[in-house]
Structure 1
Amino acid sequence: MFSAIARIFRTPDLRRKIGFTLGIIVLYRLGAHVPAPFVNFVNVQTCVAETSGTDGLLSLVNLFSGGALLQLSIFALGVMPYITATIITQLLRVVIPHFEALHKEGQAGQAKLTQYTRYLTIALSVLQSTTLVTTARTGQLFGVNDVTECTQVLTNDVWWAQLLIIIAMTAGTGLIMWFAELTTERGVGNGMSLLIFTSIAATFPSALWGIWQARGFEFFLLVVAIGVVIICAVVFVEQSQRRVPVQYAKRMVGRRTYGGTNTYIPIKVNMAGVIPVIFASSLLYIPSLIAQFNATPDADGNVPAWVSWINNYLVSGDHPAYMALYFLLIIGFTYFYVSITFNPVEVADNMKKYGGFIPGIRAGRPTAEYLDYVITRITLPGSVYLGLVALIPLIALATVQANQNFPFGGASILIMVGVGLETVKQIDAQLQQRHYEGLLR
């Protein structure tokens, strides 16, 4: 293992790529600590110290920004606008035929879809930065209403100052997008995934230090041990796949013979990744957001009954009703996302076009039905696994009153393990191209 790492730094091209990637990561983390214009840095730090974080969707955005959201920095939005734009673009393929046609055009079509994703990212950045500035201006960003500093995080409240903050945060998102594309082109791994990995990893030391201070060293060691077990389990499931065997018949083209090979279709247990967790968190945040805008008491000092019900059952992450609904939403969104990203009919048609077939299954419609059967069966354990991993921070919050951004669970551990495995595979492939023994054995 250590000899393979030494070979990485002895290879000039690979060393240059890793150095470039690390440089981009350093710039990204520096930008996360540069405050936006007209932001009172001292008051912001006071409010961050007074609160353990936000709930729901804002907590997820703060996690993906590496804590830059609550710092109100120029990189406050992080990679969340780009992730949202990418998900919307994928979903629009089902609704808009033009997007599906672009997807099938190959590299030229993918470049066009990428351009649409960039435009949508900037539009979402304007929307999200406007919402963030409005929330910070009213003092509701930190959820601490009894601290005067939390309602005075902006040094200037005029409209042009707010507009400048929105422009700065939107430009920061565009710069992050450029960093990611440069890393993908000149560095190692997927740039956007690595920036997400960096944002989440940046929150680990503070989260673990908070556990140590609150519960002591013994409990800290217990959490770390449980974290290692969770990581091993996540790695095992993320690497698990159902291999559907495929054979290609021999065919003659002139004097040459093509086909006659055996291969397989790898169907992962978790094909949806972390997307269902993001969907479920976003959807669960909507009721609390609606209740927040309708929580004005009447003449008798009472709030509407449905607002009280939402505040009691759908706001607190440690409530059993919230956990159950969260778990069911993740299962539903997993089936939904897999159904729109894996098309059995398209796969069966492509196999039939090139003379491929599954042993014992007729080509065409029977193959599509068989693949749909396999996908339906394998998605069930995958969705249950996603739901259980996503509930780990909520269970920790309910049992030991840990912070909702519990490091070993939820979207954070899924993304870190997935990005880590993919990056190691790419480095391993680069080593093997140069006739070295890779990192993976």
Structure 2
Amino acid sequence: MINSLMSALKIGDLRQKLLFTLLMLFVFRLGAHVPVPGINNEVFSNLVSQGALFGFFDVISGGAFKKFSIFAMSITPYINASIIMQLLTVVIPHLERLAKEGEEGRRKITQYTRYLTVVLAFIQAIGMSIALKIAFIRPSLDQYILVSLTLTAGTALLMWIGEQITEKGIGNGISLLIFAGIVSRVPAGIIRTVEYIQAGTINYFNLILLVVIGVLVIAGIVLINEGQRRLPVQYAKRVVGRRVYGGQNTHIPLRVNQAGVIPVIFASSILMFPEQLVQWFSSGKFSAWYTTYFAWGTASHTIIYAFLIIGFTFFYTTVIMNPSDVAENIKKYGGFIPGIRPGRPTAEYISKVMNKVTLVGAVFLAIIAILPNFVLMATRIPNIYFGGTALLIVVGVALDTMKQIESQMLMRSYHGFIK
């Protein structure tokens, strides 16, 4: 990895892309320290430290949530808007036609996603302002509106930064923003762990156990992310004039973790909604009952969370890779899977294999997402928010970014050879 980065810095335009990406990430980290006006940061910081849900928010936002800065909501509204638009593309015929129109259609869908992001961000900002009103210096309608607009503007700015990185930098901008936010919390986590050891809260055995679990989780994430089932495909030879086309053997790669981290984010977003409602109406009997049995980290919440992740993994995998469309494309170009008839039998076979592969990835995602609860019981180290989901994002983004850097270096090597 280090050798690839050093080689990339020697290439002019690739070096410019890397420097531009670092500059945008610096702006992101700078904005994470710009506070929202009218908030008592000390009260808010104490409020965040009381709940695991708030701690997870703080990790994803790179500490911006605990400081209640302009980037406190992170890029979560944009991610939710993107997921919703992808799901609506399957349901709404107009969006489905736009998705098939090429670059122009995708540009319009991206524009719709931006509008939806602003709407979702404003709704989330209003809910956050009402739920956390105890941290307001002077609670009033004007203050609620000011805080909501500031948080919405911060999310819109993050969305723009992410798109600029994707267009002019290296890697996926949105993923890199989440990556930078999570990694920025590592030094604080190390310092806190050292303080726990010095205070006698934990011992070295707990720390070694945590490191071993972390290494095993990272190895498992790499294995699952890179794992795939290859379905062989053969294309018949075609004679056109004096030329022979086709006759080649290839394969369809069915990745074990085809959906990535999207099911985890979507399941978290759904479970956060009742959590926010409970915070708004904290004095009722329903709130007390929900907090007792379904609060973040309870057994009921963990089970529901795991099943939602498994369900969304199957659903999202089917959305992004439709077996019927794949079988139709294979048949259109004269291909077939050995031993399987083209058309519907091929679609059924692909669906059967994909379901088996997806089940492994779905169960793995669920285990990774609920891992912090079990790590806490095993190591007895409090406030472990840098759990499986964060590791899944960090490792996945790092692998994808390095692959993109290597592919661009390889492309430039071919260009140099041709010239």
Please confirm whether the aligned pair reaches a TM-score higher than 0.5, indicating the same fold. Answer: yes
User: 1:29 matched to which residue of 2?
Assistant: 29
Indicate whether 1:310 and 2:310 are aligned. Answer: no
Match of 2:239 in 1: 252
Cα deviation per residue 1:46-70 (whole Å; 9 max; x = unaligned)?
54256525344x5544332212123
User: How far, CA to CA, are the matches of 1:273 and 1:241 in structure 2?
Assistant: 13
Q: Which residue of 2 aligns with 1:223?
A: 210
Q: Give 3-state SS (helix, strand or coil) of 2:259's partner.
A: coil
- Give the secondary structure class of the aligned counterpart of 1:363: coil
Change (3 A) 1:53 1:109: farther
What whole-Å deviation, never above 9, does each CA across 1:59-111 have from its counterpart, x for those lacking one? 54433221212322111111101000001001112221111111112211111
Deviations 1:194-242 (A, max 9, x none): 1111111122222233233222455334322321221111101110000
Counterpart of 2:24, as a letter, is I
- Which whole-Å deviations, capped at 9, do the CAs of 1:85-139 have from their partners, x for residues lacking one? 00100111222111111111221111111111011011111111111222221x2
Deviation at 1:402, TM superposition (A): 3.8
2:85 paired with 1:89: yes
Q: TM-score, normalised by structure 2?
A: 0.90
Which residue is equivalent to 2:330? 351
Please name the residue that 2:151 is paired with: 169
- The amino acid that maps onto 1:413 is L
Residues 386/435 of structure 1: CA separation in 2 closer, same or farther (3 Å cut):
same
Match of 1:107 among 98, 103, 106: 103
Secondary structure at the aligned position of 1:361 is classed as: coil
- Partner residue in 2 for 1:187: 169
Distance 1:280 1:309, change over 3 A: same
Amino acid at match of 2:125: S
2:22 is aligned with 1:44: no
Distance 1:184 1:268, change over 3 A: same
Native 8 Å contact 1:44 1:71 kept in 2 = yes
Residue 404 of structure 2 is aligned to residue 417 of structure 1: no
Distance 2:412 2:281 in 1: 63
**1:14 has 2:14 as partner:** yes
> Between the two proteins, what is the percent identity of the paired residues?
44
Unpaired runs of 5+ residues, structure 1, are 140-152, 298-302, 437-441
Residue identity in the other structure for 1:126:
F
Q: How far 1:162 moved relative to its partner?
A: 2.7
Q: Does 1:203 align with 2:189?
A: no
Query: Which residue does the alignment assign to 1:146?
Result: none
Work out the CA distance in 1 between the residues paired with 2:289 and 2:130: 26
Provide the rounded CA distance (Å) in 1 between the counterparts of 2:392 and 2:337: 32
- Between 212-221 and 377-386, report the one with greater CA deviation: 212-221
Distance 1:394 1:183, change over 3 A: same
Map residues 211-290 of structure 1 onto 2, 5 A cutoff. Answer: 211-214=193-196, 215-290=202-277
Give the partner amino acid of 2:42.
Answer: Q
Residue 393 of structure 1, CA deviation: 0.8
Aligned length: 409
Unaligned runs of at least 5 residues, structure 2: 197-201, 415-419
Letter in 2 for 1:358: I
TM-score scaled by length of structure 1: 0.86
SS at match of 2:234: strand
Residues 390-429 of structure 1: matches in 2 within 5 Å? 390-403=369-382, 405-409=384-388, 411-429=389-407
Change (3 A) 1:51 1:291: closer
Further displaced range: 240-249 or 164-173: 164-173
Q: Compute the displacement of 1:273 (Å).
A: 1.3
- Shifted more, 96-105 versus 308-317: the winner is 308-317
Q: Which residue number in structure 1 is paired with residue 361 of structure 2? A: 382
Quick one: which of 66, 75, 81 aligns to 2:62? Answer: 66
**Structural RMSD (CA):** 2.3
Change in Cα spacing, 1:271 to 1:93, as seen in structure 2 (3 Å) is same
Q: Contact 1:37/1:165 (CA < 8 Å) preserved in 2? A: yes
Distance 1:272 1:60, change over 3 A: farther
State how far apart, in whole Å, the 2-side matches of 1:311 and 1:165 are.
27
Letter in 2 for 1:386: L
Q: Tell me, what secondary structure is at the counterpart of 1:359?
A: coil
